[in-house]
Structure 1
Amino acid sequence: MAKNKIVLAYSGGLDTSVILKWLKETYDAEIIAFTADIGQQDELDGLEEKALATGASKVYIDDLRDEFAKDFIYPMFQAGALYEGQYLLGTSIARPLIAKRMVEIARAEGANAIAHGATGKGNDQVRFELAAAALAPEIEVIAPWRSEQFRNEFPGRAEMIAYAEKHQIPVQASAAKPYSMDRNLLHISFESGMLEDPWFDATAPENKSMYVLSVDPEDAPDTAEYVELAFEQGNCTAINGEALTPLQVMEKLNALGGKHGIGRVDMVENRFVGMKSRGVYETPGGTILFTAHRKMESLTMDRDVMHLRDSLISRYSSTVYNGFWFAPERLAMQALVAESQKHVTGTVRLKLYKGNVMGAGVQSPLSLYNPDIATMEADPTQAYDQNDATGFIHLNALRLKVASGVHGSEVHGIQIKKEPAASV
């Protein structure tokens, strides 16, 4: 069935360039290319000319960096999101924003389909399409890599390169590509190629050239650098006393973190589609922000509110990773997160040194820490009576004593010797 107009998520690389031409021919359609500027920097150079030369009738290159930082990165960091204990979700959080803008363009242009170049083995196909389903269920999504016809025509990169040459598609590609990259304001990821071997050492000296956002920690300055981050209601609003927008915060922290080799992660993660994959990530600014935010919370958040929010971190992180940013459960969790952040205000001082982010002080006008109560010396406030701990412990021990009286200590897998120990 021929499509009148298709909006394609276009990066200018080999895959989406070939897909642009293939969609136009296969569907006899007008192709509108869309690229989201979310911090790729020089990767955007010449994209409009490439897309038009490949057959696009119109090209959108929209600067979404402010929206990305303010409405996606910041809310996610308020939630303390960390997928499988390591990944700060740099790629995951960008996809719903891209899909949202694609849908807006499709409606504005009267297109009845959108298309993407995500493979059938990855997470991105799920993220794009779940976002589109939530925002515009009437718009069809075309995924060429899941098309048998497309895969028959392009079983490998050699066939794609040959197709590009035949149709004079202006792309630079080679049959041998050591790894793939995805960059935005929050991070850059590396996967596939040589990285598919989990024993491959991405920290080896000969692999230094792979990294883009950070120096090798071993090559970072020998002198530590201090930085102060000011927070208001869980959001960083200033660095070293200078008021900044969320975008400016991310840019400044990326530069600082990269200088000191901060934010490198090498992990084997579990994809939503069921397989494990190995990825290497650089998230310099995000790592600093994540650490500072947590330290600010430690001083200002109520204990049980923090523990309740923390109990949602795994669920929230998986929700974002799996592509459910616009799902009702993420919105519900975000409402709780926003409530938890109302008093997360103050200043954090950090020490940056050779890949490490260390706390060097925290203060807040809303601090819940009272040194007079916490002191090991005499408590001038008389707020805490140590004798009260006797009853507190007694009541908490009651159920343990009852269970032990009924079942004995063996219920815990422990054998208590009844004979006295031999004297030495």
Structure 2
Amino acid sequence: MRVSGDVKKVVLAYSGGLDTSIILKWLQTTYGCEVVAFTADLGQGEELEPARKKAELLGCREIFVEDLREEFVRDFVFPMMRANALYEGVYLLGTSIARPLIAKRQIEIARATGADAVAHGATGKGNDQVRFELSYYALEPEIRVIAPWREWTFKSRTDLIDFAEKNQIPVAKDKRGEAPFSVDANLLHSSSEGKVLEDPAEEPPAYVFQRTLSPEEAPDQATVIEIGFEHGDAVSIDGVRLSPATLLAKLNELGKANGIGRLDLVENRFVGMKSRGVYETPGGTILHVAHRAMESITLDRGAAHLKDELMPRYAELIYNGFWFSPEREMLQALIDKSQGAVTGGVRLKLYKGNVIVIGRESPNSLYSTKIVTFEDDAGAYDQKDAQGFIKLNALRLRLLAARNKGLDR
């Protein structure tokens, strides 16, 4: 069914793959509208010029292929890393953190080209539809959103292939059957889910892993590196200053070679179901461990513990698509305030899937050898003071125990 006069121009998040190519043509035929193709280079590791050529072949007059790697790491990944964000205690949010940047650029392109709608290729069962659309509406409240997977009548892969063939969309031989699993990738991570991975009792096949050696195959000798930090952000590796994206890419190489960053997770999706995903986040895993080590000597106990209490809420906001919400921005301001003194260096040993902290130092360190020493501390800490401290903290426990024993209080 053709919807005429409803939409004039739509900006599509376009990968150049079969599914988004079908979506592009479906938008043209269903809405009779002009489609602006937008392809973001977030470090997914694929050549993107073929996406431009395919969009041209499908009749797009306005095509945007943009390298957003530095913005992605600087303005999205690094702020998240300052929070030590982990969803459900383990997931480094590699897919989640990419969606707000793509959505932001779609809205900016829509404004620049006069488009009145945006579209994405996320399915109606996943989290990405929520992340894209919450971001769209937060940035442009009156924007029209088209989600083809929730609208079209295609019921199977065969239906999609038939549509592609009828509309002269090239279909590679390896795309005609069902893919063994789906993949999303960017500079921070790769995620794999579905098909061969749907049974959480079964170990993932070796061919699922793309960004890491298995720990068993990693070298028998450890790799030692030092990461330099300034105000909570990593700025150097082994004394060499690097841009955010270049630094993360280098850590990815080191992590891959040492079997670091694999995660097999059954998670709770925002839409209500549980799903099993296999994630590879080599550089992000190293960065997470290093940042916590840097904070361990530069953050006051109260500040560090408050951050840890707030982190699950912050991570959940990103996972659920609320990057542009006021509460995430409020938490970010608090987190960033805590990072002023998080400067120095962390030495790490990378070995067979492990990231081991072997040293940390900072000009802003709160660690005092004078106070912690078991030798004569020259009056820096009077151990007799601990007696009153303990008695005051034990008072409520003693009263409770006395009551329970029926003793006179």
State whether TM-score is above 0.5: yes
Deviation of the 1:397 alpha carbon: 0.5
Amino acid paired to 1:387:
K
Instruction: State the shift of 1:2 in Å.
Output: 2.6
Task: Give the whole-Å Cα distance in 1 for the aligned partners of 2:89 and 2:158.
Answer: 38
Q: Provide the residue aligned with 1:414 in structure 2.
A: none
Give the partner amino acid of 2:29.
E
Shift of 1:56: 2.2
Instruction: Decide which of 167, 174, 177 is 1:175's aligned counterpart.
Output: 177
Moved more, 268-277 or 51-60: 51-60
Q: Please name the residue that 1:413 is paired with.
A: none
Q: Does 1:157 align with 2:169?
A: no
Check if 1:398 corresponds to 2:400: no
8 Å contact from structure 1 (residues 123, 272) kept in 2: yes
- Give the structure 1 partner of residue 297 of structure 2: 299
Displacement of 1:41: 2.2
* Residue 225 of structure 2, aligned match among 224, 227, 230: 227
What CA RMSD, in Å, does the superposition of the two structures yield over aligned residues? 1.3
Q: Which amino acid in the other structure matches residue 398 of structure 1?
A: L
Alignment TM-score, normalising by the size of structure 1: 0.93
Residues 122-173 of structure 1: per-residue CA shift (max 9 Å, x gap): 00000000001110112111111111xx0x2x10111111211221112431
Over 6 Å off, 4+ runs: none
Aligned counterparts, 1:113-132, within 5 A:
113-132=117-136
Q: Are residues 1:137 and 2:141 paired? A: yes
Identify the match of residue 87 of structure 1 among 88, 91, 94. Answer: 91
1:7 partner amino acid: V
Structure 2 distance, partners of 1:340, 1:407, is 43
Counterpart of 2:110 in structure 1 is 106
1:412 aligns with: none
**Partner of residue 49 from structure 1, selected from 38, 53, 73:** 53
- Give the alignment partner of residue 39 of structure 2, picking from 35, 40, 45: 35
Residues of 1 paired with 2:156 and 2:215: CA distance?
Answer: 37
CA drift of 1:334 comes to 0.3
Q: Which amino acid aligns with 1:84?
A: E
Q: Partner amino acid for 2:303?
A: V
Q: Secondary structure at the match of 2:65?
A: strand
> Which residue is 1:15 aligned to?
19
Q: Which whole-Å CA distance do the structure 2 matches of 1:24 and 1:226 have between them?
A: 54
What are structure 1's unaligned runs of at least 5 residues? Answer: 410-424
Given the alignment of the two structures, is residue 326 of structure 1 paired with residue 330 of structure 2, yes or no? Answer: no
Deviation at 1:45, TM superposition (A): 4.3
**In 2, are the aligned partners of 1:100 and 1:131 still within 8 Å (CA)?**
yes
Extract unaligned runs of 5+ from structure 2.
none
Q: Does the residue aligned with 1:344 lie in a helix, a strand or coil?
A: coil
Q: Distance in 1 between matches of 2:392 and 2:52?
A: 70
- The Cα of 1:16 is off from its aligned counterpart by 1.0
SS at match of 1:295: helix
Identity, in percent, stands at 58
Give how far 1:245 is off: 1.0
For the residue of structure 1 that corresponds to 2:276, the secondary structure is: strand
Aligned counterparts of 1:286 and 1:400: Cα–Cα separation in 2: 43
1:57-115: per-residue Cα shift (whole Å, max 9, x none)?
Answer: 32111111110010000000001100011100000000000000000000000000000
TM-score by length of 2: 0.96
- Which residue is 1:288 aligned to? 286
Q: For residue 166 of structure 2, what is the aligned residue in structure 1?
A: 166
The residue matched to 1:111 in structure 2 has which SS? coil
